[in-house]
C-alpha cells in the first residue's frame, strides 16, 4: 500500500499545503538544500546501494506485513530522494504525503543505521524532510501546537509561570504527609543537582514529581528545581524542524541551570529530551558538548542504588521485561546501566525482547510521532505491532520503560493488542520499594 | 548601591555578626541563608514548631508567621523581601509586613536599581500582570511572562497574551496573540511571540525580541518593528549614551550584531549573546563563539584571542575599558578571565566577577572542594569559608567587603588589598 492509499487527514498539513504552489515549494526546498544540509545529505542520497539491508530493521515495515513502502530507503526515496530528483519542484499534494511520511511514519529511532553497510542515517534524512516541511509551514496540528507552546511558555504544555511553582508547592505539601521535612527547594543557588522534567509532569503526571522529590529527599541529595521557565527539558521544536526555537529552548534550559550555579542537571525519565540536550539543541546553540552536564535518571538511579544512597526494603516482583528507549540506549549507551538498575530493583529475571539494547524496536511513539496527536494514533499503534509481538512473547506481566514517550506509546499498544501488561517507570518501583528515612 | 555603600562600615578588619547562624527560636528546620549587601544581616526561612513559616534575621524570627514562605532576598536598599502565603492567598512580605493586597498567586519579585521600588508578577482569577509596591496594573491579561522593571522603577513591562486561545488553535497563534504591556497598557501590534522586553536608561522606551511568523524574527521598539527581519535574534539592549538599540542577529546561519536594523558587527560568529554597554555607551561587549564550540568575549566586535568551551557572566567595568567573564569546560575547571587572560586558578565553580567603581580591580567568589574563597585581581583572600557571598568593593575601590559563614559563624570582613595573597 503506497502513501496515497493511507493518507491521513490533518488540519495542520491540509491548511499548510493549501498555502503552497510549486514555485514556493521549490524556492524553500532549495534554500534548505543549499543553505543548511551540506555534503552529508547529498552523500547519503548518492551512496545508497539499494541493498535493502535496512528494510528488516524498521518496525513500520515489520508491523505492516512487510510493506516495502515503509522500508527506510523507500521512505527516503519518497521524500528527500524525490525532492533531489526534481530539483525541489513538486506539487503541494506531494508535500502532504512527504510530511506524513516524515512526521508520522518514522520515529527517527536510528535502528536502521545499524543495519546499513554504508552507515546511512535515515533519521537524518527524515529530520531534514521535517525541516523543509517546517519551512513550508506544513506540520501536523498537534505537534505544531506543542511547538507553539514551547515558544510562548518555554514548556510544551502551555503551563503558565505560576502553575509551575504552584504545582511544585502542592506536591511538596502532599509529600509532607509522608515525609514531614521534605522540601522541593526552589531556586537554591549552588545545589549539586538541578532536577528537570518535561511539562506533562506538572500537567498530568504530578505523582512523578512527588516520587522524584521523595527519592531525592531520601537520598539526601542537595538539589533544587528552578522557579522560572527553563525547567522543561523537552523539545518538540527539534522534531517539528524548528531549529531556531530548539536552540532558544536549550539556551533557556542551560542558562537556567547556569544561573543557579548547580553542578549538574538530572533529568527525569525522558528519552527525546536527552537527545535534544546532549546532541542536537546544544550544538545549534554553539556548544560542542553541553555547558552543564546532564545526567539521565537511569544513570542517576544507578548511582543512588550502587552508592547505597537509596536502600530497598523490598524488591519488585519479577520477572519483568523492559523497553530500551532509543535515545538513551541506542543514542547514549545506557543499556547496561538500565539492566543493572533493574537487577537491583527486581526479584526475578529480566526477560529480554528478541530485539534489545541498541537493536531494540522503537515504541512507535518516539521522534514526535505520538505528539502528532489523535489523527495519527491508530497508524502509530499499528506500527507497534512488531513490538507488541515481541512483548507478548516474553510472557511476563511488567514492562519497565524509563521514558515518557515509551510509556504513552506502550500504554496504547498494551491496550490495543490486549497484552495485559503493566508499564512502570524506574521511579515508580524505587518509590515503592525504598527504605523511608526515619521520622 | 555604590551610593548606599558609602554609609556602610568600611573599617578594615573582621567582625563576627552572628556567633551562630542557627535560629534562636525552636524550629523544625531552617533553610538556606541570605545576606544583606552591607553584610550586617543574615536571614533564613524557618519552619516553626506550629508548622508555620517565618524569617529568622540575625537569630530572631519575625513576629509574623505565614502558611508558606519562599524566595527570600534582600532588596538593593537592604529590605528583606519574601513571597508569603496567608489564608491561601499570596503577597510580598517586606521586613515582616505584607503588602495590603493579596493575590491568587505572586512570584518573580524584582527591584529598581536602588531598591526603592519593588514589583512582582501576579495572577488573580486566571488573569495575569504585575503589582508594583502592592498596586496592581489596571489591566490584566490571559497570560503574562518575561517580566521587567526599569532601573528607575517608574515602569514595568511584560509579554502578555491579548486574547484567549482555544486548544491547538494554530490560526490564532499565527495571527499573533502576544505583545508587550508597559505599566499594564498593551501595545497595539501583536506578534507570534515576544521575549525579553527591556527598558532604556530612563525607563521610557521598551525594546523586545519579536517573532513575526515562524521564520522571521526582529526587534520592536515602542511597538514599532525594525525594518529588517532575521533568521533569529536575541535580547535587545539600549545604548545608554545614544538610546540606540542593539541586538544579536542571525543572518544566513551566522551571528552578528545589529543596531536599529543595521548590521554593526558582521555575522561571523557561531554564537553572539549577552551583549552589554559601558555606562557612556561607547563600548559594546558580548559573549561570542568565533568558531564552533569555542567561546570568548568580543569587545567592539573584536574577540579576545583566548577561547573556551563555555563563557558566562560577562561584566564590563563602568568606563568600559575592562571586561571580565567566567570560562569553564563542561561546568568544571572554572576560570575567571579578565581582559582576555585567565587568572591562574581553576575552580569547581565561580561567580560573576565584580569591578571596583574605577575599574582598577576585579573580585570574584570561587568554590573548590566545597569551600568558598574570594579572589581579587587573581589573588586569594587569606582564608576560605564554608560559604561566602559575592564580594563588594568600597566606593573608593580600596577595600573589599567579604560576607561569609564559617564554622557556623557569620562574619563580615573588610579586607584591604594587601589581605589578598598570591596563592589563588
Ligand atoms: S522508524 Fe527508525 S528504523 Fe524506521 S526508518 Fe525511521 S529511523 Fe529507521
Ligand atoms: S541499508 Fe543503507 S545502503 Fe542499503 S538500502 Fe538501506 S540505506 Fe541504502
pLDDT tens across A140-197, in order?
999 999 999 999 999 999 999 999 999 999 999 999 999 999 999 999 999 999 999 9
d(CA A128, CA A385): 27
Residues in chain B: 424
- Are A308 and A384 within 8 A, CB to CB? no
- The string of DSSP letters for A50-81 reads ---TTGGG-HHHHHTTT-GGGSHHHHHIIIII
Rounded to the nearest angstrom, the distance between the alpha carbon of A110 and the centre of ligand 1 is 6
Q: For residue A77, which ligand has an atom nearest its CA?
A: 2
Cβ within 8 Å, pair B331-A287: no
Shared fold status for A3-139 and A311-433: no
Compute the average pLDDT of residues A326-350: 94
Which residues in chain B are closer than 8 Å to A261, comparing Cβ atoms? 349, 351
The mean pLDDT of A217-228, rounded to a whole number, is 98
> Ligand 1: does its nearest atom lie under 6 Å from the Cβ of A60?
yes
H helical segments located in A6-48: 11-18, 22-32, 38-47
Spatial contact of A256 and A230, defined as CB atoms under 8 Å apart: yes
Whether B28 sits inside 8 A of A181 (CB atoms) is yes
- Please tell me whether residue A123 adopts helix, strand or coil conformation: helix
Residue of B nearest to A282 (CA): B293
Q: What are phi and psi of A390, to 5 degrees?
A: -70, -40
Residue A419 near ligand 1, beta carbon < 6 Å? no
**pLDDT at residue number B421:** 86
Chain A residue with the nearest C-alpha to that of B269: A286
Protein residue with least CA distance to atom 6, ligand 1: A106
Query: pLDDT exceeding 70 applies to what percent of chain B?
Result: 99
pLDDT at A439: 61
- Per domain, the residue ranges of chain A are 3-139, 146-304, 311-433
User: Which atom number of ligand 2 is nearest to the Cα of residue A44?
Assistant: 7
The pLDDT confidence band at residue A275, using thresholds 50, 70 and 90, is confident
Phi, psi of B201 (to 5 degrees): -60, -25
The per-residue pLDDT for B302 is: 98
Closest residue to atom 2 of ligand 2, CA basis: A116
Confidence of residue B72 (pLDDT cuts 50, 70, 90): very high
Residue A361 has pLDDT above 90, yes or no: yes
Residue B125 has a CB neighbour count (10 Å cut-off) of 7
- Rounded CA gap, B103 and A13, in Å? 42
Element (H, E) at B344: none
How would you class A30 by CB atoms within 10 Å of its CB: exposed for 0-12, middle for 13-18, buried for 19 or more?
Answer: middle
Nearest residue of chain A to residue B250 (CA atoms): A244
Mean pLDDT score across all residues of chain A? 95
Q: Are B271 and A185 in contact (CB < 8 Å)? A: no
Considering the four listed CATH numbers 3.40.50, 1.10.10, 2.120.10, 1.10.1060, the one that applies to the domain covering A3-139 is 1.10.1060
Q: What angle do CA B203, B208, B212 make, to 5 degrees?
A: 150
- C-alpha A35 to ligand 1 mean position (Å): 25
Give B172's DSSP letter. H
The answer, yes or no, to whether the previous bond of A422 is cis (omega within 30 of 0) is no
What is the structure's pLDDT at A28? 98
User: Which of A11, A190, A286 comes nearest B292 by C-beta?
Assistant: A286
Of A12, A261, A283, which has the smallest distance from its Cβ to B349's Cβ?
A: A261
What CA–CA distance (Å, rounded) separates B245 from B239?
A: 6
Average pLDDT (A236-262) is 97
Res. A274 pLDDT band, cuts 50 70 90: confident
> What separation in angstroms does the CA of B403 have from each of B366, B381, B410?
13, 12, 8
Q: Measured between alpha carbons, how far is B177 from A337 in angstroms, rounded to an integer?
A: 46
Closest Cβ–Cβ partner in B107, B145, B330 for A289: B330
Identify the residue among B70, B108, B142 best suited for mutation to test binding to A, counting A beta carbons within 10 A and taking the highest. B70
Residue A273 has pLDDT above 90, yes or no: no
pLDDT at position A290 is 87
pLDDT of B4: 82
pLDDT tens-digit series, residues A124-153: 999 999 999 999 999 999 999 999 999 999
Residue B2 has pLDDT above 70, yes or no: no
Cβ(A422)–Cβ(A397) below 8 Å? yes
Q: What is the pLDDT of residue A331?
A: 84
Q: Return the percentage of chain A with pLDDT > 90, whole number.
A: 91
Q: What is the pLDDT of residues B150-200, one digit of tens each?
A: 999 999 999 999 999 999 999 999 999 999 999 999 999 999 999 999 999
Residue A327's pLDDT is what?
Answer: 87
A1 pLDDT higher than 90: no
Whether B157 contacts B199, CB under 8 Å: yes
Q: What is the pTM of this model?
A: 0.97
Residue pair B131/B99 in contact by the 8 Å Cβ criterion: yes
Substitution site in A115, A123, A130, A366 for ligand 1 pocket (most atoms within 8 Å of beta carbon): A123
**Farthest CA pair distance, chain B:** 65
**Antiparallel, parallel or unpaired: β A398-400 and A320-322:** parallel
pLDDT classification of B424: cutoffs 50, 70, 90:
low
Flag the least confident range among A24-28, A151-155, A281-285, A372-376: A281-285
- Work out the minimum CA distance from A142 to partner chain B, whole angstroms: 6
Handedness of CA B254, B256, B259, B263 (dihedral sign): negative
Q: Please give the mean pLDDT across all residues of chain B.
A: 96
Give the separation between CA A2 and CA A307, rounded to whole angstroms.
Answer: 53
Distance CA B337, CA B341 (A): 5
Length of chain A: 439
d(CA A172, CA A180) in angstroms, rounded, equals: 10
Q: Tens of pLDDT along B77-105?
A: 999 999 999 999 999 999 999 999 999 99
pLDDT for A280 equals 82
Whole-number pLDDT of residue B422: 67
Contact A190 B367 (CB under 8 A): yes
pLDDT digits (tens, 9 = 90+) for B9-67: 999 999 999 999 999 889 999 999 999 999 999 999 999 999 999 999 999 999 999 99
Are the beta carbons of A112 and A54 closer than 8 angstroms? Answer: yes
Distance of CA A257 to CAs A220, A264, B165, Å?
A: 20, 8, 31
Measured in Å, residue A73 CA sits from the centre of ligand 2 at 6
Distance from CA of A12 to the nearest CA of B (A): 8
With beta carbons under 8 A apart, name residues in chain A contacting B232.
244, 247-248
* Predicted pLDDT of residue B125: 97
Least confident of A343-347, B2-6, B231-235: B2-6
Task: Return the ∠ at Cα B35 (arms to B31 and B36), rounded to 5°.
Answer: 145
**Are A354 and A387 contacting, i.e. CB atoms less than 8 angstroms apart?**
no
Instruction: Please write the tens of the pLDDT for every residue from B320-375.
Output: 999 999 999 999 999 999 999 999 999 999 999 999 999 999 999 999 999 999 99
ipTM of the complex: 0.97
For the CA atoms of B297, B299, B300, B304, what is the dihedral angle to 10 degrees?
A: -70
Q: Is the pLDDT of residue B423 over 70?
A: no
Architecture of domain A311-433: 3-Layer(aba) Sandwich (3.40)
Ligand 2 site, CB within 6 A = A 48-54, 72-73, 115-116, 118, 120
**Distance from the alpha carbon of residue A125 to the mean position of ligand 2, in angstroms:** 12
Amino acid at each position: 500500500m503506497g502513501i496515497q492509499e493511507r493518507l491521513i487527514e490533518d488540519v495542520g498539513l491540509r491548511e499548510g499545503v493549501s498555502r503552497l504552489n510549486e514555485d514556493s515549494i521549490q524556492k524553500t526546498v532549495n534554500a534548505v538544500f543549499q543553505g543548511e544540509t551540506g555534503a552529508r545529505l547529498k552523500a547519503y542520497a548518492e551512496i545508497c546501494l539499494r541493498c535493502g539491508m535496512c528494510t528488516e530493521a524498521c518496525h513500520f515495515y515489520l508491523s505492516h506485513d512487510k510493506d516495502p513502502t515503509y522500508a527506510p530507503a523507500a521512505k527516503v526515496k519518497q521524500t528527500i530522494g524525490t525532492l533531489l530528483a526534481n530539483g525541489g519542484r513538486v506539487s503541494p499534494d506531494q508535500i502532504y504525503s512527504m510530511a506524513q511520511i516524515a512526521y508520522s511514519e518514522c520515529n527517527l529511532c536510528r535502528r536502521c543505521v545499524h543495519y546499513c553497510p554504508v552507515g546511512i542515517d535515515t533519521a537524518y534524512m527524515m529530520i531534514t524532510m521535517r525541516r523543509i516541511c517546517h519551512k513550508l509551514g506544513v506540520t501536523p496540528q498537534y505537534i505544531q501546537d506543542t511547538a507553539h507552546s514551547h515558544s510562548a511558555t518555554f514548556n510544551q504544555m502551555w503551563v503558565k509561570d505560576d502553575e509551575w511553582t504552584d504545582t511544585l508547592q502542592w506536591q511538596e505539601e502532599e509529600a509532607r504527609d509522608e515525609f514531614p521535612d521534605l522540601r522541593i527547594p526552589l531556586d537554591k543557588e549552588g545545589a549539586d543537582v538541578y532536577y528537570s522534567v518535561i511539562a506533562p509532569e506538572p500537567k498530568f503526571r504530578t505523582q512523578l514529581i512527588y516520587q522524584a522529590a521523595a527519592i531525592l529527599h531520601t537520598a539526601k541529595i542537595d538539589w533544587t528545581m528552578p522557579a522560572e521557565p527553563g525547567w522543561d527539558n523537552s523539545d518538540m521544536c527539534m522534531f517539528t524542524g524548528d531549529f531556531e526555537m530548539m536552540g532558544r529552548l536549550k539556551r533557556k534550559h542551560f542558562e537556567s541551570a547556569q544561573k543557579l550555579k548547580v553542578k549538574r542537571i538530572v533529568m527525569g525519565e525522558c528519552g527525546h529530551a536527552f537527545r535534544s540536550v546532549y546532541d542536537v539543541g546544544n550544538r545549534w546553540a554553539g556548544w560542542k558538548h553541553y555547558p552543564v552536564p546532564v545526567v539521565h535518571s537511569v544513570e542517576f538511579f544507578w548511582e543512588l542504588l550502587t552508592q547505597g544512597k537509596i536502600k530497598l526494603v523490598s524488591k519488585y516482583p519479577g520477572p519483568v521485561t523492559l523497553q530500551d528507549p532509543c535515545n538513551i540506549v541506542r543514542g547514549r549507551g545506557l543499556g547496561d546501566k538500565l539492566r543493572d538498575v533493574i537487577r537491583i530493583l527486581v526479584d526475578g529475571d529480566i526477560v529480554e525482547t528478541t530485539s534489545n539494547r541498541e537493536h531494540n524496536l522503537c515504541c512507535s511513539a518516539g521522534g514526535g510521532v505520538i505528539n502528532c496527536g489523535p489523527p495519527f494514533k491508530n497508524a502509530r499503534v499499528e506500527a507497534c505491532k512488531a513490538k507488541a509481538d515481541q512483548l507478548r512473547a516474553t510472557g511476563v506481566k511488567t514492562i519497565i520503560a524509563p521514558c515518557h514517550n515509551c510509556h504513552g506509546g506502550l500504554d496504547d499498544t498494551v491496550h490495543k493488542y490486549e497484552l495485559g501488561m503493566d508499564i512502570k517507570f524506574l521511579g515508580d518501583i524505587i518509590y515503592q520499594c525504598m527504605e523511608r528515612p526515619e521520622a | 548601591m555604590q551610593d548606599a555603600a558609602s554609609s556602610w562600615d568600611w573599617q578594615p578588619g573582621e567582625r563576627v555578626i552572628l556567633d551562630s547562624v542557627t535560629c534562636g527560636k525552636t524550629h523544625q528546620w531552617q533553610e538556606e541563608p541570605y545576606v544583606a549587601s552591607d553584610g550586617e544581616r543574615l536571614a533564613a526561612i524557618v519552619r516553626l514548631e506550629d508548622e508555620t513559616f517565618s524569617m529568622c534575621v540575625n537569630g530572631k524570627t519575625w513576629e509574623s508567621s505565614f502558611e508558606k514562605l519562599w524566595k527570600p532576598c534582600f532588596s538593593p536598599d537592604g529590605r528583606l523581601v519574601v513571597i508569603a502565603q496567608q489564608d491561601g492567598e499570596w503577597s510580598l512580605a517586606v521586613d515582616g509586613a505584607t503588602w495590603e493586597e493579596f493575590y491568587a498567586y505572586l512570584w518573580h519579585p524584582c527591584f529598581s536599581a536602588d531598591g526603592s521600588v519593588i514589583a512582582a508578577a501576579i495572577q488573580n482569577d486566571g488573569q495575569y500582570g504585575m503589582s508594583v509596591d502592592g498596586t496592581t496594573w489596571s489591566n490584566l491579561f490571559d497570560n503574562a511572562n518575561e517580566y521587567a522593571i526599569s532601573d528607575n522603577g517608574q515602569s514595568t513591562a511584560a509579554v502578555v497574551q491579548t486574547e484567549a486561545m482555544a486548544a491547538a488553535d494554530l490560526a490564532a497563534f499565527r495571527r499573533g496573540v502576544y505583545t508587550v504591556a508597559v505599566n499594564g497598557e498593551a501595545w497595539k501590534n501583536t506578534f507570534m511571540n515576544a521575549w525579553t522586553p527591556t527598558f532604556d536608561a530612563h525607563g521610557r522606551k521598551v525594546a523586545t525580541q519579536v517573532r513575526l511568523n515562524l521564520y522571521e524574527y526582529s526587534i520592536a521598539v515602542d511597538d514599532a518593528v525594525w525594518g529588517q527581519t532575521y533568521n533569529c535574534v536575541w535580547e535587545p539592549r539600549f545604548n545608554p549614551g545614544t538610546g540606540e538599540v542593539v541586538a544579536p542577529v542571525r543572518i544566513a546561519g551566522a551571528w552578528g550584531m545589529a543596531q536599529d536594523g543595521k548590521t554593526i558587527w558582521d555575522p561571523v560568529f557561531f554564537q553572539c549573546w549577552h551583549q552589554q554597554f559601558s555606562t557612556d555607551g561607547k563600548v559594546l561587549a558580548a559573549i561570542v563563539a568565533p568558531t564552533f564550540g569555542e567561546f570568548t568575549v568580543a569587545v567592539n566586535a573584536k574577540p579576545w584571542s583566548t577561547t573556551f568551551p563555555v563563557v558566562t557572566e560577562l561584566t564590563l567595568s563602568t568606563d568600559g575599558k575592562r571586561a571580565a567573564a567566567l570560562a569553564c569546560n563542561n561546568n568544571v575547571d572554572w576560570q575567571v578571565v579578565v581582559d582576555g587572560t585567565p587568572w591562574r586558578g581553576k575552580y569547581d565553580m565561580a561567580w560573576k566577577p565584580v569591578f571596583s567603581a574605577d575599574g582598577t580591580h576585579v573580585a570574584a567568589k570561587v568554590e573548590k572542594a566545597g569551600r568558598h574563597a574570594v579572589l581579587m585581581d587573581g589573588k586569594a583572600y587569606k582564608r576560605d569559608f564554608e560559604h561566602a557571598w559575592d564580594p563588594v568593593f568600597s566606593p573608593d575601590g580600596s577595600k573589599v567587603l567579604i560576607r561569609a559563614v564559617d564554622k557556623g559563624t557569620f562574619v563580615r570582613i573588610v579586607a584591604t588589598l594587601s589581605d589578598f595573597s598570591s596563592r589563588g
